[in-house]
Amino acid sequence: MGHLTMAKEEVYRALAKRLDKNPVGAPVNETLMKILHIMFTETQAMIGSKFPAGMVKLEKLVEITGIPAEELKGHLNDMADKGLVIDVPRHDSFYYMATPLVIGFFEYTFMRVTDKLPMQELAELFNAYHQEPGVVEEFFGSPTKMFQTWAYESLMPEEVETEVLPYEKASEMIRDAGGGSLTMCYCRHQAQHLGTACDAPVEDVCTSLGNAAEWLIRRGFARRATVDELLRVLDKTEELGLVHLADNVQNKPAYICHCCGCCCGVLKSANEHGILTAHPSNFIPHINDELCNGCGVCAKRCHVNALSVSERVPGDKKSRKAELDKEKCLGCGACIRGCKQGAMALVRRKEIYVPPVNKKEQMMRIAMEKGKIPGR
């Protein structure tokens, strides 16, 4: 039986190597192997290991895997139910794409409550995987990030209102999409299983738009939500001082997360590893020293520890002022909403960041930066 066990393990190793070929890959280690053994049956692992890049027709997968069409459709349907495959209807057929690790089945797993998977064990394994050498660097180390920060629109200075581009305004993206979906915050849901969750909302808070929302709704990961509902979530999360992290693209972003530094995998990684994990917004807080009384509320509200309070004159508490680390600051606006002294304001950064046009360009940039495809 030893050769059978070895053959089975090779199937899962091939799947792990395939996942690592994605622009945002999956460093192969024993923690990942445990996750894959839970998420994929052996046949599903074989299918996943043979997926080409991008979308592919069923007929091509039949040719690649050697599995008859009807049998293969059943496996693919089961995989889509677990978030391991994305199936897209086109005309009278479906196109399929293997879901990457992130943004992918890591997130989908905790978008809902299910008894079909060992959620507690997976929460612990996912958390352990993030601590493995090289994982954070693979997820967030590229110059082009998966996420960009959207500043609070209510704080944007009036004098630049006409200069604000559509991809800088969450409300405009939501209205353009005509609605979308809401689901559980997967990070805080995972944190609940770990016993580390904060009191920020878990239900009906993670926002998706466009085709991503349609797929999540069809597969039972999310519920449909109107423009008004999504805008109310935007307002509510700003009141709570959460950070808006969105798909790092100009057109048709797939998701908007409303994040906290204690549970969010992106912000936690920034805090624990001291690296930039999301592109900052094109805004940054300006501190008025004359109005700042050094109360420290802004520092407590900052999710990435970009603010601190220090005494300008040692031993003189009246000289306490807020200090901003511009290299860490995401420009979200959470600190400003908490300043009762009116000592902070959002201003335009000197250098304006322009995101990739769409998801294809974003993934191409990341792949080239990592040397996974030749540069143009």
Residue 312 lies in a domain: yes
Residues 6+ apart with CB under 8 A from 45: 11, 12, 14, 15, 36
pLDDT band for position 2 (cuts 50, 70, 90): very low
Residue 124 lies in a domain: no
pLDDT of 158 higher than 90: no
Same domain, yes or no: 192 and 246:
yes
pLDDT digits (tens, 9 = 90+) for 8-39: 889 999 999 999 999 999 999 999 999 999 99
Same domain, yes or no: 216 and 105:
no
Same domain, yes or no: 58 and 170:
no
Residue 135 lies in a domain: no
The mean pLDDT of the chain is 93
pLDDT digits (tens, 9 = 90+) for 187-233: 999 999 999 999 999 999 999 999 999 999 999 999 999 999 999 99
Residue 289 lies in a domain: yes
Cα separation, 373 vs 143, whole angstroms: 16
What is the average per-residue pLDDT within 233-241?
A: 96
Task: Provide the domain count of the chain.
Answer: 2
Q: What is the pLDDT of residue 30?
A: 97
Residue 316 vs residue 112, higher pLDDT: 112
Same domain, yes or no: 155 and 87:
no
Tell me which residue of 100, 86, 117, 97 sits closest to 213, measured CA to CA. 86
pLDDT of 315 higher than 80: no
Query: Which residue segment(s) compose the domain that 58 sits in?
Result: 2-109
Q: What is the pLDDT of residue 3?
A: 41
Q: What is the pLDDT of residue 361?
A: 96
Residue 138 lies in a domain: no
pLDDT digits (tens, 9 = 90+) for 63-80: 999 999 999 999 999 999
Same domain, yes or no: 168 and 312:
yes
Same domain, yes or no: 60 and 185:
no
Residue 133 lies in a domain: no
Residue 338 lies in a domain: yes
Cα separation, 187 vs 257, whole angstroms: 10
Beta bridge partners of 96: 56, 87
Cα separation, 144 vs 138, whole angstroms: 12
Same domain, yes or no: 72 and 155:
no
pLDDT digits (tens, 9 = 90+) for 274-286: 999 999 999 999 9
Same domain, yes or no: 53 and 159:
no
Same domain, yes or no: 298 and 235:
yes
Percent with pLDDT over 70 in the chain = 97
Residue 116 lies in a domain: no
Q: What angle do CA 98, 100, 106 make, to 5 degrees?
A: 120
Same domain, yes or no: 166 and 36:
no
pLDDT digits (tens, 9 = 90+) for 172-181: 999 999 999 9
**CATH code, domain with 33:** 1.10.10.10
pLDDT of 366 higher than 90: yes
Residues 6+ apart with CB under 8 A from 140: 146, 266, 269, 270, 275, 276, 277, 278
Q: What is the pLDDT of residue 164?
A: 77
Dihedral of CA atoms 302, 351, 357, 268 in degrees, nearest 10, equals -20
What is the average per-residue pLDDT within 223-245?
A: 97
Residue 316 vs residues 311, 312, 345: alpha-carbon distances, Å: 7, 8, 26
Same domain, yes or no: 365 and 238:
yes
In which residue are the tokens 């200075």 written? 157
Q: What is the pLDDT of residue 1?
A: 40
